[in-house]
Amino acid sequence: MLNHGQVVRLIFGLKLRELRQERGLSPADLARVCDVSVSYLNEIEKGKKYPKADKILSLSQALAVRYDQLTSLELPRRLEPIAELLTSKTLKEFPLEMYGLEPARLIELIANAPAKMNAFISTIFEIARNYEMRQEHLFLAALRSFQEMHDNYFEDLEQDVRAFVGSHQLATAAPFDLRQLEHVLVKEYGYALDRETLGHHAVAAQARLRSVFQPKARRLLLRPGLSRGQQAFVLGREVAFNYLKLTERPYVSSSLQIGSFDEVLNNFKASYFAGALLMEEESLLRDLKKMFSAKKWHPDLLLDLLTQYDVSPEMFMQRLTTLLPRHFGLQSLFFLRFDQPGADAPYDLTKELHLARLHNPHGNDLDEHYCRRWVSLRLLADARALPVPDTAAAPVTVAGAQRSRYFGTDDEYLCFTLARAGTPTQPALSVTVGLRCDDHLRSQIRFWADPALPFRTVNETCERCPIPDCESRVAAPTEVTRLAERAAFEAAVTALVQEG
């Protein structure tokens, strides 16, 4: 991450180079006038050194500018986007080192070609403004890229879980006994657990907060009515924040407030820890191998595992995304979570992860309609059609699988989905793991060829889909029509040019 000193040095160097070039001076000319070496001047212009006051005075006199003008953090108008980037909270918190890019290297790139970098940065800012890209979107996108770089499996966190279980002599048999976590939080970390207060706060109900941690009192507020699995996840995550010593962390179970990238990353680490703790690696691997060895697909194969581990559908499917690439070699994988607050509300893709790096359905910010042929949406509609339980009853969960092939291609995915019907206080949701159908998958999952397994031709959105007479279509193929009209126009123009 860039610190304030690095930003100050870089802006000073950029401004110095800009003024020197405007005056038509070479580095040697300016160095001679100011009685400094050319190499020292080059280090200043590249943001590696910051001169002392007497040298700044000499430079300002040689360039005919005021001392304070040279030392201010303002850049010329054409380099303003660079200043905006360098002084932005986003860049200061962005984990450059995590992606192998040292801050000094970024400074060097900007210093060596400020005009070109300025054009690039201006383009990025313009795209961000046009698509209303907020800071939290950038941080979450960076986290997804980090997960994809590691195939979403983190050996250090898996080892941390094993060390924690061993040092506390915990039983990991499914379902995990959450009383063990309560004991650790209360006795070792000094927590007070409150399962009533949050139920009386309107803001908690409005934001659907499952938990709030009050650091001063070390009190953990849990919303009344959480399932045993939901409580276990919250408690497991709190254990992780303490055991892993993750101090910069969110205090509420919501993505509405994101303060920094460290907060996002630490929340992911704690969530990963909780999932690995509640679904012990070796045990779940044995159960998955047994499920994949079945010759016939049946929804109970998935539902029985969900019941056995007694976790939420999202927790279970997220855990699959950590184990399938590592232990089964199924690395072309995607994860999707759809929410639907009401029966007439649009489907909202609220979480996604793409290890396949292919054209799986991605977040859609263009107000288009997702293809209803995917099992994710079909099963969500099926769950929505079930009777609505009262507030005391557990929400109904249904399971399904489907082979999905993209229209006009040979790209096929085996998709598993768990969908939960909505309740008066929770939206309906579906979570899906999609696995690319290749020779490796066919050798790992026996029921992939079960003729009873649904097979559908799918696409991304209705607006971009040319499938004729689609019984699931909810919007006209406007983008297909637009592209066809564009192609016809370009063909006509080409023909006109070639006449005569």
Q: What is the 3-state secondary structure (H, E, C) of 128-178?
A: HHHCCCCHHHHHHHHHHHHHHHCCCCCHHHHHHHHHHHHHHCCCCCCCCCH
pLDDT of residue 234: 95
pLDDT of residue 201: 79
pLDDT of residue 222: 92
Domain boundaries for CATH 1.10.10.2910 within the chain: 149-278
pLDDT of residue 425: 63
Has residue 199 got a pLDDT over 90? Answer: no
How many Cα atoms occupy the beta-carbon half-sphere of 395 within 13 Å? 28
pLDDT of residue 233: 95
Whether 197 and 209 have beta carbons less than 8 Å apart is answered as no
Among 358-367, 470-479, 486-495, the range scoring the smallest mean pLDDT is 358-367
pLDDT of residue 314: 93
* pTM attached to this predicted model: 0.77
Among 93-97, 187-191, 464-468, the range scoring the smallest mean pLDDT is 93-97
Q: How far apart are the first and last CA of the chain?
A: 61
Residue appearing with tokens 């399938």: 324
pLDDT of residue 89: 60
- Domain 4-133 is found in CATH 1.10.260.40: yes
pLDDT of residue 321: 96
How many angstroms separate the CA atoms of 347 and 200, rounded? Answer: 30
Q: In which band, very low, low, confident or very high, does the pLDDT at 324 lie, cut at 50, 70 and 90?
A: very high
Has residue 6 got a pLDDT over 80? Answer: no
How many angstroms separate the CA atoms of 417 and 378, rounded? Answer: 10
Q: What is the mean pLDDT of residues 245-253?
A: 90
pLDDT of residue 261: 79
Angle, helices 261-278 vs 313-328, to 10°: value is: 80
Sign of the CA dihedral with 200 first, then 203, 208, and 209 last: negative
> 376-391 b/e with 16+ CB inside 10 Å = b?
bbbbbbbbbebeeeee
Q: In which band, very low, low, confident or very high, does the pLDDT at 436 lie, cut at 50, 70 and 90?
A: very high
User: pLDDT tens digits for 293-322?
Assistant: 999 999 999 999 999 999 999 999 999 999
User: pLDDT tens digits for 377-407?
Assistant: 888 888 877 776 555 556 789 999 999 999 9
Sign of the CA dihedral with 296 first, then 300, 302, and 305 last: negative
Domain boundaries for CATH 1.10.260.40 within the chain: 4-133
Task: Calculate the average pLDDT of the chain.
Answer: 84
Regarding the domain delimited by 149-278, which CATH topology (the fold level of the hierarchy) does it fall under? Arc Repressor Mutant, subunit A (1.10.10)
How far is residue 418 from each of residues 202, 224, 343, 422, measured CA to CA in Å? Answer: 30, 24, 18, 13
29 vs 8, residue with greater confidence? 29
Has residue 467 got a pLDDT over 80? Answer: yes
Has residue 37 got a pLDDT over 90? Answer: yes
Q: In which band, very low, low, confident or very high, does the pLDDT at 482 lie, cut at 50, 70 and 90?
A: very high
